[in-house]
Structure 1
């Protein structure tokens, strides 16, 4: 009986060895998930894992056969989605912690056609090619919190840029401040500026809530120089502009000013040059260090 058990054990070990040989890893250093994703961690931390729909700040690149660059090294924001096919990149991203760096080898056919929306593989690529993603996960946030995080990040960067600009262009800053002060006095505008220096005067009350950071707002506007020259107007085009507010997609004076308004409200924004286009030329009419005036209407937001 003992001899029989021993023989069975030996046979099992040989079979296991044959199976292992039959499944020889084609990518040394990589491990394989049950879904067929090959992965290798270069730096692996502990802690929480990202959840579907979380927004991930990543450094990412993608190559085919380690030579053809599909995605160059890029800092980007990706939303973690449910896997689109077994062993896809999203499976790998869901395995990462904050601060991790890893490499993932994925099925090239499915990645191009299911994730990248291509009808076929691009010319020059075949289904046997090795598609490799290298990823560094800097941080991740729930979708509901990301706008606030981004707004804080944008504000910090903006404040630093403004402080540097004022220091480097002290003479121009003083001249622009004098021009704006004279304009306000001449037009009998006595509203107090915000901490940043922005001045907002409401001309028609709204009847709704104020937009939160990250909301898509619809705004009608007419932009003018202090001498009254109009440089842009959505009113003339007959279509309000739609933008996310508070996340750095528009000039700082707009990011701050539009959030002061409620739905349906109209008003005027008096924007110091450093909350507008700063020391840059913008189009033909806005020269560096230009203070700007905007007639604005918050049509809607969602």
Structure 2
């Protein structure tokens, strides 16, 4: 379990502001971090090496950045000697089971402590509000790990159920779209819609095979957001290479490309649940946005081609 870094916390905090209505004024840690703890002081303070389990909400302006309702609770090891580095780790030793806390992280202070740099989602004068509710305390890492595993299994199952519901909704939209355009499509094994203009004549795309693909990706509105062909994007003329089944690409690619052989060309109509989901990606791909990819399978092989261009993050 890693300690939460300043930039990570500044990019992944959580909070409802209701706790601010609790009694008492805000205090400051040695590094200047503002915080307030709401406690009945009935439970003992945690000891070094124990683990707190807490729910959280991170908010800046009117936007919730992250919350345990979506991502599951967080776990942190108690370290009373935590470095005063403008980080919520400074206050965890003061929190008892059942306590709530509000932490205020000031953007201008983050800028000063990080060489004048701010995360993209923050502006000067912004304040990030982190609300914490401690729901359990574990004496050892093994106990905390076991609880985290059980908890995450529940959240993952919930996420899978939500993704399946979203996929069905997405496919209804995509099927209506291709029908309105008189486009003939096939369904890939997991449901991605595929328009095949040339199935190819070489080796079949399948699990464990390395595929190299030339592509252009666009939104349903026709906004091109990436391409291996257009010179205004990175790596023009270089196909994207990944292993089928190896999670090197979005699920819609892994699914839809299985209908092609080497040399195949076509178009993938990808439900958002098989693309970037409710998170979206960058400015062009909104949450729960279905995507269209024009693809050409230029290589199918058993091993990674020596000349392959792999780009971080997958497609």
Tell me the TM-score normalised to structure 2 length.
0.41
User: Which entry has the higher C-alpha Rg, 1 or 2?
Assistant: 1
Tell me the TM-score normalised to structure 1 length.
0.42
